[in-house]
Amino acid sequence: MVCEILCVGTELLLGDIVNTDGAFIAREMAAMGFSSYHQTTVGDNPGRLREALRLALSRSDVVIMTGGLGPTCDDITKNAAAEAFGRKLIFDEATREDIARFFEKIGRPMTENNLSQCWIPEGAAVFYNKWGTAPGIGIEGEIDGEKKYAVLLPGPPAECEPMFMECAKPWLARLSGDVIRSKNLHLYGIGESAAEAILRPLMESSVNPTVAPYACEHEVRIRVTARAGSVEEAERMCAETAAKIRETDVGPTVYAETDDPFSAKNAMVTTLISELRRRGWTFATAESCTAGMIGSSVGDIPGASDVFAGGIISYANEVKENVLGVPREVLKTVGAVSEPCAAAMAEGARRVCGSDIAVSVTGIAGPGGGTPEKPVGTVCFGVSTAAGTYTETRHFNGKNDRAKIRRLTTAHAMYLAIRTMRGEI
């Protein structure tokens, strides 16, 4: 089946917001096995929206529309969809009650114009909105003798994304009478093309579950997506394929498995935190070139305070020396970007913060500061535990920009902490 995403919003045409809904839905639809050949964005204009929807329904089986659902935009998306499918709008009392409950929960009065949101195309499925007021809608019907489907979702990503996952996805999966489940395998230290070369036979022979690699900045993600008659069956199929992947040569590079988007996006840091929790350990950082990015990434995760003691941002050499206790000799002889300095930083952070494990990074993020011996992208790492201190030097590609080198450094430092706890280094 072919799907198409049609986003509605003048703010998208003006570039005031980036269209993250489109990418999110595209990815989920691809994982469910839908093909996609077009994405379109139009503004809050009924005529152009009607025309864009007509074109989309003429060339695709399923059209997912986002935005244009609220009273401030005259509900143009709902009106256009009702018209395309030849449906009247009818007042839905259950929707009114649901919206009234939402306002009660947030303690604000429901205004008159919210009532427009209770008018629903006849025979459509209503997706109640736990994250806002505009309900989502699923419509199926015949247009010019062909079966067509439209899904309408609110524009704000904080409503669109969970409503897609909780409402639209099961509704769409039901089209084939199936449920869909996914699992991600997270690979570190292997490139996308190398992973793809190894997994190519499995990818080609796997129709259900599908196996698809995605290159992320610091890792490769392999997404396994199964379609089955029950959740249990789909999960079993995902697990089976994940086990097969682990048996290939990519196996040793798999550092985590995730099955929800938040964990997938934050796999490295959530893995770090779960390894710390498993041991009842606390974590500390000593950061030079990342300047707090490792600590901040750990702090992104709710409840990180269980395991995160704190850290030292030792940008200036004086802080390395005075707070972390890096010997002046080290700074004077081999310099701040050196394994002896990284070792002393990690040991210092562990001592000063009183943690069980500490990581350190010191390097040259660029664009300035590189030398022939230590070009931009050179980073030294340290990991200190009661058992001793490990150090290594990495040479990230100096052609990357400063921000990317710092993000790669952050991921690698966490990876080294994970491997240390797992006894792999």
**Counting contacts by CB under 8 A, is residue 266 touching a copy of itself?**
no
Min dist CB 26 to a copy of itself, Å, is 3
**Pick 34 or 120: Cβ nearer a copy of itself:** 34
- Concatenated DSSP letters of 284-297: EEEESTTTTHHHHH
- Please say whether the beta carbons of 84 and 51 come within 8 A: no
**Pick 55 or 175: Cβ nearer a copy of itself:** 55
**Counting contacts by CB under 8 A, is residue 316 touching a copy of itself?**
yes
**Counting contacts by CB under 8 A, is residue 382 touching a copy of itself?**
no
Stretch that binds a copy of itself, among 85-93, 96-104, 291-299, 412-420 (CB under 8 A): 291-299
Q: In the window 166-225, what residues touch a copy of itself (CB under 8 A)?
A: 214-215
**Pick 132 or 135: Cβ nearer a copy of itself:** 132
Residue 273 has what DSSP assignment? H
**Counting contacts by CB under 8 A, is residue 239 touching a copy of itself?**
no
**Counting contacts by CB under 8 A, is residue 281 touching a copy of itself?**
no
Stretch that binds a copy of itself, among 89-97, 162-170, 289-297, 388-396 (CB under 8 A): 289-297
Residue 47, amino acid = G
Distance CA(225)–CA(221), nearest Å, equals: 13
Q: Counting Cβ atoms within 10 Å, is residue 57 exposed (0-12), middle (13-18) or buried (19+)?
A: buried
Min dist CB 136 to a copy of itself, Å, is 19
CA 196, 197, 200: angle at the middle one, nearest 5? 75
**Counting contacts by CB under 8 A, is residue 104 touching a copy of itself?**
no
**Counting contacts by CB under 8 A, is residue 348 touching a copy of itself?**
no
Tokens of 272: 């770090």
Which value, in Å, is the radius of gyration of the alpha carbons in the chain? 26
**Which residue from 32, 139, 228, 309 is in contact with a copy of itself, where contact means CB under 8 A?**
309
- Produce one character per residue of 82-97: b if its CB has 16 or more CB atoms within 10 Å, e if not: bebbebebeebeebbe
Residue 90's contacts (CB-CB under 8 Å, 6 or more residues apart) are: 119, 120, 121, 122
Q: In the window 12-31, what residues touch a copy of itself (CB under 8 A)?
A: 12-20, 22-30
**Which residue from 148, 186, 227, 406 is in contact with a copy of itself, where contact means CB under 8 A?**
406
